[in-house]
Amino acid sequence: MDRFLSVIHENWTVIDHPTYLAAYALWRLNWIHPFVEGNGRTARAACYYLLCLRYGGLLPGKKIVPERIRENRKPYYEALRAADRRWEDGHFDVSQLAGYLEGLLKDQLSETR
C-alpha cells in the first residue's frame, strides 16, 4: 500500500493524462487485494476519487464512472488482464484501462448537456 500511494503522489504532477493515475489505482488496488471483501468497490471508489481530484471537484453527469463499470464489466476485466499481462512481461502499462476509463468519463460528462 505504501508503494501504491507513493506512485500516485510522486506522479501527480508528472502524468498529465486525466485517466492514467486513476487507471493505475483501479488496477493496483485490485492487484494488491488488501481487503477480505470490497476490493473492487474500493478500487472503483479510489479511481473515481482521483478523477474528481484531477477535475477539481465532483464530476457532473447522471451516472458516474463506477456505476458504468459495474454495468458492463467485460471490458473492465479485459483491461485489468491486459495490465496484468504487461506487468508479467516486466512492463508497467495501464494504457488500455486508461482508455477504457476515458470513454466512460466522456459518456458521463456528455450526460450533463
Neighbours of 54 (CB within 10 A): 18
Cell of 43: 478500487
Domain segments of the chain as ranges: 2-110
Helices 95-110, 20-32: inter-axial angle, 10-degree rounding: 120
pLDDT of 37 above 90: no
* Higher pLDDT among residues 112 and 32, named by residue: 32
Taking phi over 0 as left and psi of -120 to 50 as alpha, with beta for the rest, 11 belongs to alpha
Q: How far is the C-alpha of 101 from the C-alpha of 18, rounded, in Å?
A: 9
- Residue 36 confidence (pLDDT) above 70: yes
CA distances from 92 to 24, 62, 82, 95, 97 (A): 9, 33, 11, 9, 12
In the predicted model, is pLDDT for residue 108 greater than 70?
yes
What is d(CA 84, CA 53) in angstroms, rounded to the nearest whole number?
Answer: 26
pLDDT at 76 over 80: yes
50's grid cell:
482521483
Q: Identify the pLDDT of residue 24.
A: 95
Indicate whether 97 pLDDT > 90.
yes
In this predicted structure, the answer to whether residue 100 has a pLDDT above a threshold of 80 is yes
What average pLDDT does this structure show over 90-111? 96
**Mean pLDDT within 2-14:** 85
Could you tell me the fold of the domain covering 2-110? Fic-like fold (1.10.3290)
Q: Given this model, what pLDDT does residue 113 score?
A: 59
